[in-house]
């Protein structure tokens, strides 16, 4: 009986410690990758200004080539939405929320399966003469106490390869 009491107290202390640490962990996360493209910003913009244009260089299509996609609204305008349903990539949607031609294309990301989560995706472009710095990013948040998982997330390990592939495809398309 004494051993069970010690285990119970130890377990309660451990849970309390996790909850206390989670108070101090940020709830927001951001992940970005950048590439320099040897093309003017207008050329890069044409490959990032619509959901269908982004689809041409997206690495997610490789993961689940049989996913079903559906578009609603007028692509390239705020409110246009692309939804997907796939056995590997899950179920979700991306809706255009902000367009600042030719420097910012922003979407809301809503993942429903396998885990529900919401965030923001974006492509930012900065012109440097005849070259363009393209930054592809996403941000989101995790509610307390689940935000403690941010300490253990390795976005580079889980997404870095895909983002590098996507950006290299964007570079290739834009430099044609």
**Residue-by-residue DSSP string for 28-89:** EEEEEEEEEESS-HHHHHHTTSSHHHHHTT-THHHH-TT-EEEEES-TTSTT-EEEEEETTT
Give the residue among 115, 116, 110, 113 at the shortest CA–CA distance from 95: 110
Q: Does 40 fall in a domain?
A: yes
User: Does 14 reside within a domain?
Assistant: no
Stretches where the chain sits below pLDDT 70 are: 18-19, 21-22, 25, 147, 150
The CATH number covering residue 140 comes to: 3.30.530.20
State CA 38 to chain mean position distance. Answer: 25
Residues 79, 32, 116: CA angle, nearest 5 degrees: 55
Residue 155, domain member (yes or no): yes
Residue 168's φ and ψ, nearest 5 degrees, are: -65, -35
Residue 100 lies in a domain: yes
Q: In this predicted structure, what is the pLDDT of residue 14?
A: 80
Q: Is residue 83 part of a domain?
A: yes
Give the range of the structural domain holding residue 160, as residue numbers without chain letter: 27-174
Read off φ and ψ for residue 136, nearest 5 degrees.
-105, 125
6 within some domain: no
List, for residues 87-98, the tens digit of each pLDDT value. 888 999 999 999
Residue 147's H or E segment, with its range, is: none
Question: Is residue 87, in this structure, part of any structural domain at all?
Answer: yes
Domain count along the chain? 1
- The whole-number pLDDT of residue 18 equals 66
Structural domain includes residue 11: no
């Amino acid at each position: 009986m004494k051993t069970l009491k010690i285990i119970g107290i130890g377990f309660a202390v451990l849970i309390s410690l996790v909850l206390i640490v989670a108070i101090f962990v940020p709830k927001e996360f951001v992940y970005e990758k950048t590439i320099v493209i040897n093309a003017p910003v207008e050329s890069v913009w044409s490959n990032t200004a619509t959901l269908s244009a982004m689809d041409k260089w997206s690495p997610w299509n490789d993961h689940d080539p049989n996913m079903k996609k559906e578009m609603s609204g007028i692509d390239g305008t705020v409110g246009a939405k692309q939804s997907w349903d796939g056995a590997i990539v899950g179920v979700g949607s991306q809706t255009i929320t902000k367009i600042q031609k030719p420097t910012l294309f922003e979407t809301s990301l809503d993942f429903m399966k396998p885990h529900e989560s919401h965030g923001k995706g974006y492509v930012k472009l900065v012109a440097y003469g005849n070259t363009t710095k393209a930054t592809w990013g996403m941000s989101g948040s995790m509610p307390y106490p689940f935000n403690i998982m941010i300490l253990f997330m390795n976005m580079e390990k889980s997404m870095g390869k895909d983002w590098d592939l996507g950006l290299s495809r964007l570079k290739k398309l834009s430099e044609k």
